[in-house]
Structure 1
Amino acid sequence: MKKSEIRKIYLEKRKSLSEDEVFLFSEKIFINFVNYFKPISGQKVHIFIPIKKFKEIDTQRFITYFQSRNIHVYVPKIVDEKLISVEFFSDTKFIINNWGISEPISDDDSGVLDFDYIITPLLYCDKNGNRVGYGKGFYDHFFENVTEKTKKIGVNYFDADDMIEDVWENDIPLDYLVTPTEVLSFLTGS
C-alpha cells in the first residue's frame, strides 16, 4: 500500500480507540519498552509529547519514569520548519503550536546528537522498519543528524504488517518498533 492510503486507514483505526484502550495500550507499550531496553541513569532520551486529538501513545508514564531515574529527557519542537530537541525539566513551560501539538516555550536547541533512544510517533510501521507519520518528514531530517549508536524506536498500537510501496530514498527506517504485544528489531543480526 502507498503511504497516503496507509495514513487514512491508520488514522481511522486510531480514532476508533476508546480512551481506556489508549491508556491500556500505552501502558503495555511502556512496560515492553522498559523490559526490553532497560534504560539507566545518565542516558539521554528524546520523546514526543502526544497529540491527544490524534490519540497518540500517552508518553507521560515514560517521562515520569525517566525523570525518576535521572535519565535526561528531551522533547521535540518545530522551529523554522526544523525539528529541534529541547531538554525537558519538571518546570518546563509548554504552549500549543499551530498543529495542536504541545511544545516547550523555549527555542533553545540542546544540540544533543548522541541520544541513547529516540522514541518516535508514527501511524504505521512495516516489517522493514519503514514508518508512516503525518507526512512532514521532520523525523527523517532529525534522524539524519544523530549518532549511529542512537536507537530509533517507533511506538504504535498496531503490529508491523504490509510493506510500504512508496518508500523514498530520504526515508530513514526505525531500528525497533514497540507495540502492546512485542518489540521488533529491524537491525540486521538481531
Structure 2
Amino acid sequence: MLKAELRKKYMQKRKALSSDEAFLLSEKIFENFVDCFKPLSGQKVHIFIPIEKFSEIDTQIFINYFLSWNIKVFVPKIVDAKLISVEIFNDTKFQTNTWGISEPVSNEDSGENDFSYVITPLLYCDKKGNRVGYGKGFYDVFFENISSGTKKIGVNYFGPDENIDDVRQNDIPLDYLVTPTEVLSFFNGSE
C-alpha cells in the first residue's frame, strides 16, 4: 500500500480506540519495551511527547519510569523547521504549541546525538522496519545525525500487515518495533 493510504487507514484504526483501550495498550507496549531492552541508569533516551488528538502511545509512562531510574530523557522540539533534542527533568516547564503538542518551553538544543534509544512516533511500520509517520520527514533527518549505535525503536498499537510500496531512498528504517504483543527486530537475525 502507499503511505498516504496507510496513513489514513491507521489513523482511523487509532481513533477507533477508546482512551481506556489506548492506555492499556500503551502500558503493554511499555512493559514489552522494558522486558526487551532493560534500560539502565545513566543511559540516554530520546522520546516523543504524545499528540493527544492523534491518540498516540502514552509515552508519559516511559518518561516517568526513565526519570525515576536516572535515565536521561530528551524530547523533540521543532525550532526553525528542524527537530532539536531538549533534555527534560522532573521540573521542566512545558507549553502547548500551535499543533497542539506539549513541548518544553526551552529552545536549547542539547546537541546530544549518542542516545541508547530513540523511541519514535509512527502511524504504521512494515515488516522491514519502514515507517509511516505524518509525512514531514523530521525523523529521517534526525536519524541521519545520531550515532550509529543508537537503537531506533518504533512503538505502535498495531503490528505490520501490509508492505509500504512507496519507500523513498532517504527513508531510514527502524531497528525495532514494539507493540502490545511483541517486539520485532529488523536486523534479519543479527544485531
Aligned-residue offset at 1:99: 1.2
Give the aligned partner of residue 154 of structure 2. 154
1:90-129 to 2 correspondences below 5 Å: 90-129=90-129
Instruction: Give a deviation string over 1:142-171, Cα, whole Å, max 9, x none.
Output: 000000100000000000121100000110
SS of residue paired to 2:26: helix
Q: Which amino acid aligns with 1:164?
A: I
How far apart, CA to CA, are the structure 2 residues paired with 1:80 and 1:161?
Answer: 36
Cα displacement (A) at 1:97: 1.2
Give the letter for the 1:64 counterpart.
N
Alignment of 1:31-180 (within 5 A): 31-180=31-180
For 1:9-28, list aligned pairs within 5 A.
Answer: 9-28=9-28
CA–CA distance in 1 between the matches of 2:12 and 2:161? 17
TM-score (norm 1): 0.99
Alpha-carbon distance, 1:115 to partner? 0.2
Query: Secondary structure of 1:36's match?
Result: helix
The 2-side partners of 1:188 and 1:113 are apart by 25
Counterpart CA distance in 2 for 1:160 and 1:148 is 25
Secondary structure class of the residue paired with 2:152: strand
Q: Which runs of 4+ in 1 moved over 6 A?
A: none
Residue 189 of structure 1, CA deviation: 3.0
Superposed CA offset, 1:21-50 (max 9, x none)? 111000000000000000001000000000
* Partner SS, residue 112 of structure 2: coil
Taking only the aligned residue pairs, the percentage that are identical comes to 74
Figure out how many residues of one structure are paired with residues of the other and give that number.
190
Corresponding position: 1:187 with 2:159: no
Q: Name the CA distance, whole Å, in 1 between partners of 2:30 and 2:54.
A: 19
Match of 1:63, SS state, is helix
CA distance in 1, matches of 2:112, 2:187: 23
> Matched residues in 2 for 1:166 and 1:72: separation?
36
Residue ranges of structure 1 left out of the alignment (5+ in a row) = none
- Tell me, what secondary structure is at the counterpart of 2:84? strand
Structure 2 residues without counterparts, runs of 5 or longer: none
Code of the residue aligned with 2:107 in structure 1: it is: D
Q: Distance in 1 between matches of 2:81 and 2:189?
A: 36
TM-aligned CA deviation for residue 188 of structure 1:
3.2
